[in-house]
């Protein structure tokens, strides 16, 4: 039998299926559902003359359809999350490789041109010092 939680969680879809299966149900009939599954089943039986077993079968089929849809959705989410994790891992490997390559290139440049590299560092230090000094004076 369908649970109250499933019924409330999928109420709009169930409402449509109820009206489609049993056309004699009015909007008022399906709107009187207050979370009580037995009350809803009783209303359907009273309005349609349908046997309780048939009403229960309808809800059981809906439950199994909803369960199958949830399983399918769960598998899709898992697959998408796995794919996203693989993409993120690949991107991080590429970033690490790019940083290593950049470090190796800078290392080679400094070894080939040590004097120029030292002068660039001194110049950057002076510029940074002046910028910090100006910033602190402006406060």
| pLDDT of residue 1 exceeding 60 | no
* Cα-to-chain-centroid distance, residue 97: 30
Q: Is residue 36 part of a domain?
A: yes
Domains in the chain, number: 1
Higher pLDDT, 2 or 49: 49
Domain that holds residue 58: 4-113
The whole-angstrom separation of Cα 72 and Cα 91 is 28
pLDDT in tens, 67-95: 677 778 888 899 999 999 999 999 999 99
| Beta-carbon count within 10 A of 14 CB | 21
Q: Is residue 139 part of a domain?
A: no
Q: Is residue 71 part of a domain?
A: yes
Q: Which two tokens stand for residue 30?
A: 């399906």
Q: Quick one: DSSP state of residue 10?
A: T
| Residue appearing with tokens 């794919």 | 83
| Beta-carbon count within 10 A of 42 CB | 13
């Amino acid at each position: 039998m369908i649970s109250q939680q499933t019924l409330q969680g999928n109420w709009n879809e169930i409402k449509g299926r109820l009206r489609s299966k049993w056309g004699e149900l009015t909007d008022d009939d399906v709107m009187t559902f207050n979370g009580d599954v037995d009350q809803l089943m009783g209303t359907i039986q009273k309005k349609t003359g349908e046997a309780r077993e048939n009403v229960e079968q309808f809800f059981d089929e809906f439950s199994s359809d909803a369960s199958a849809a949830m399983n399918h959705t769960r598998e899709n989410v898992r697959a998408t999350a796995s794919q996203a994790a693989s993409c993120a891992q690949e991107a991080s490997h590429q970033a690490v490789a790019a940083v290593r390559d950049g470090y190796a290139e800078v290392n080679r440049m400094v070894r080939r041109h040590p004097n120029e590299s030292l002068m660039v560092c001194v110049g950057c230090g002076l510029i940074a010092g002046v910028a910090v000094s100006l910033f602190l004076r402006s406060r």
